[in-house]
């Protein structure tokens, strides 16, 4: 019978739990470095969180980016950023917030219209004020925090509090490390970045739940097996699924990163790092933490594992 692709014909014997001190050290260093970089360097906030003007235009034929940049740069509007996206004719123009309130923003838009001329199609014009941008930033942070809290409650009710605590610690590791990447590489942090963080959180916890489910089954099945051996067995039994899921997701994200244009580059870069980080934390952080939190083995009927009987997923 066809079983599909099996990455490992037999269950591997990788000593994940034996490597836990090394993996914990790597994770702590990553989190501390991320927090240090964010506190020292801060974020390259986009107009969504900083305020400013966004103009989306379509030119007749491929856009001459260098000429447009030179034209708009000479208007005295401060920082001007141009990005191509979609077709070669689509251009996204970002301009810093103008002093003088809403009237100044409207005047800046009129200057842009006059400079680019009537042959350009204006598809979107947005002005984001400082109050709105500040509100958007904190709403985004609340969204990430409440998302993590909701995941904690879900894991707690589905498994035990020990699983919830270890899962959220691993999830915090992924989110903080990704935020540190944004700050370190000076990637623009905007509403799309918040969406990337929430997506990474969902992907990471999904990967962790699959392994937790196998741990729970083995806790009931092998009551007399030492916890370290049981966690190793659970990790190895699901390793094929973990690697194939992460690998196929990375392939899709690589296509998005190289072919998605500048508008999606920040999102896809964060997702690439987050998927790798989430796969790592599920195996090397979330499961080894259970060694210290000691989830209960509740099945009164104990059986011993038969060597070679377990199947790899």
- Residues making up the chain, counted from first to last: 313
Same domain flag for 194 and 250: yes
Same domain, 139 and 119: no
Overall pTM > 0.85: no
Distance CA 200, CA 172 (A): 11
Could you read off the pLDDT of 14-45 as tens digits, one per residue? 899 999 999 999 999 999 999 999 999 988 88
Same domain, 23 and 93: no
Same domain, 190 and 172: yes
Using only C-alpha atoms, the chain has a radius of gyration, in whole angstroms, of 25
Residues 6+ apart with CB under 8 A from 21: none
- Which of 71-85, 86-100, 116-130, 299-313 has the weakest average pLDDT? 299-313
**Dist CA 140 CA 150 (whole Å):** 15
Q: What percentage of the chain carries pLDDT values higher than 70?
A: 88
Looking at the predicted structure, is the pLDDT value of residue 313 above 70? no
Q: Is residue 313 part of a domain?
A: no
Domain end (from 99, 128, 157): 128
Is the Cβ–Cβ distance between 119 and 58 less than 8 Å? no
What ranges in the chain are assigned the alpha helix state H?
20-41, 47-50, 65-73, 101-116, 130-158, 161-185, 191-221, 227-237, 239-259, 262-281, 287-293
Same domain, 200 and 104: no
Encoding tokens for residue 229?
A: 């051996």
Would you say 6 and 240 are in contact if contact means Cβ atoms under 8 Å apart?
Answer: yes
| Residues 275 and 141 both lie in one domain | yes
Give pLDDT tens digits for 238-293. Answer: 888 888 888 899 999 998 888 876 667 788 899 999 999 999 999 999 999 999 98
Close Cβ partners of 292 (under 8 Å, ≥ 6 residues apart): none
Whether residue 300 is contained in a domain is answered as no
SS (HEC) of 9-55: CCCCCCCCHHHHHHHHHHHHHHHHHHHHHHHHHCCEECHHHHCEEEE
pLDDT band at 1 (very low <50, low <70, confident <90, very high): very low
161 and 21 within one domain? yes
Number of domains in the chain: 2
pLDDT at 308: 46
Asked whether residue 111 falls in the same domain as residue 39, the answer is no
Cα(265)–Cα(311) distance, integer angstroms: 39
How far, in Å, CA of 313 to CA of 310, rounded?
A: 10
Q: Are 3 and 146 in contact (CB under 8 A)?
A: no
CA 24 to chain centroid, in Å, comes to: 20
pLDDT of residue 266: 82
148 pLDDT band, cuts 50/70/90, is confident
Range of the structural domain that residue 288 is part of: 17-45+133-293
Which CATH number does the domain housing residue 41 bear?
1.20.1640.10
Considering the chain, what is the average pLDDT of its residues? 82
- Per-position DSSP letters for 136-170, written without gaps between them: HHHHHHHHHHHHHHHHHHHHHHHS-HHHHHHHHHH
- 93: domain CATH number? 3.30.70.3400
């Amino acid at each position: 019978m066809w079983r599909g692709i099996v990455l490992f014909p037999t269950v591997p014997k990788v000593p994940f739990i034996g490597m836990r001190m090394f993996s914990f050290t790597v994770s702590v260093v990553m989190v501390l470095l991320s927090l240090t970089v964010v506190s020292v360097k801060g974020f390259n906030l986009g107009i969504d969180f900083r305020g400013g003007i966004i103009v989306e235009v379509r030119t007749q034929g491929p856009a001459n980016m260098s000429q447009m940049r030179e034209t708009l740069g000479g208007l005295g509007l401060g920082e001007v950023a141009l990005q191509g996206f979609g077709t070669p004719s689509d251009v996204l123009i970002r301009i810093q917030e103008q002093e003088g309130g809403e009237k100044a923003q409207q005047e800046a838009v009129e200057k842009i219209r006059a400079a680019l001329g009537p042959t350009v199609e204006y598809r979107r014009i947005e002005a984001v004020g400082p109050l709105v941008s500040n509100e958007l930033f904190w709403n985004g942070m609340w969204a990430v925090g409440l998302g993590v809290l909701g995941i904690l409650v879900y894991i707690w009710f589905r498994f035990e509090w020990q699983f919830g605590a270890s899962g959220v610690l691993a999830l915090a590791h992924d989110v903080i490390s990704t935020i540190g990447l944004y700050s370190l590489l000076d990637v623009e942090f905007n509403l799309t970045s918040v969406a990337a963080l929430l997506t990474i959180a969902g992907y990471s916890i999904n990967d962790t739940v699959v392994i937790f489910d196998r741990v729970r089954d083995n806790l009931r099945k092998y009551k007399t097996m030492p916890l370290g051996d049981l966690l190793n067995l659970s990790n190895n039994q699901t390793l094929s699924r973990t690697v194939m899921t992460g690998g196929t997701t990375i392939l899709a994200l690589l296509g998005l990163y190289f072919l998605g244009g500048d508008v999606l580059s920040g999102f896809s870069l964060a997702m690439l790092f987050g998927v790798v980080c989430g796969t790592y934390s599920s195996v090397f952080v979330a499961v080894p933490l259970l060694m210290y939190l000691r989830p209960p083995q509740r099945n009164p009927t104990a059986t011993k594992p038969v060597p070679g009987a377990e199947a790899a997923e």
